[in-house]
C-alpha cells in the first residue's frame, strides 16, 4: 500500500488564525509561500531555494500543509507543492496577499 503517500489535508474552514500565524511567522516557511506565490507552476520540495536541511524542510512543509496553506501530491519520488490560494482567501480574506507583499518589501532575513 502507498496510502501513506497521500498526506492529509485539513478542511480550510477548520484552520484557526492562530495556526496560520504560527505557520507564517517562520522566515523559511514564509519564503516557501513567497516562492510558490510568485511561480505559475507547482514546485517540488527539493526545487525550493531554502537554507535548511532536508529533514528541516520536511518539517516546514508539514506545518504549512496543516495550516491549510499548501496542497501536496506526489509525482514519482517528488513531492509537489501548490498554494491553496482560493480556498485560503475565502477563509482569511486579504491575509495571504498582505503577508506576501509585506514580505516582498522586506525579504526574510536568515539568522547568521
Footprint of its own copies on this chain (CB under 8 A)? 16-18, 20-22, 24-25, 27, 30, 92-95, 97-99, 101-103, 105-106, 108-109
Using CB under 7 A, which residues numbered 46 to 65 contact DNA? 46-47, 52-63
Indicate the length of the chain as a whole number: 112
**71 interacts with DNA by CB under 7 A:** no
Q: Are 61 and 80 in contact (CB under 8 A)?
A: no
**13 interacts with DNA by CB under 7 A:** no
Q: Are 12 and 87 in contact (CB under 8 A)?
A: yes
The H-assigned helical ranges of the chain are: 17-24, 27-37, 54-66, 85-91, 95-105
Residue 83: name its binding partner from its own copies, DNA, none (Cβ under 5 to 8 Å by kind): none
Pick from 14, 77, 106, 109 the residue near DNA by CB under 7 A. 77
Amino acid at each position: 500500500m502507498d496510502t501513506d503517500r497521500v498526506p492529509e489535508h485539513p478542511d480550510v474552514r477548520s484552520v484557526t488564525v492562530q495556526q496560520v500565524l504560527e505557520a507564517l511567522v517562520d522566515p523559511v516557511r514564509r519564503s516557501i509561500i513567497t516562492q510558490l506565490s510568485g511561480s505559475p507552476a507547482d514546485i517540488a520540495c527539493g526545487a525550493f531555494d531554502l537554507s535548511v536541511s532536508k529533514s528541516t524542510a520536511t518539517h516546514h512543509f508539514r506545518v504549512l500543509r496543516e495550516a491549510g496553506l499548501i496542497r501536496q501530491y506526489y509525482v514519482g519520488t517528488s513531492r509537489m507543492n501548490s498554494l491553496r490560494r482560493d480556498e485560503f482567501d475565502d477563509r482569511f480574506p486579504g491575509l495571504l496577499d498582505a503577508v506576501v507583499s509585506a514580505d516582498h518589501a522586506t525579504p526574510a532575513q536568515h539568522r547568521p
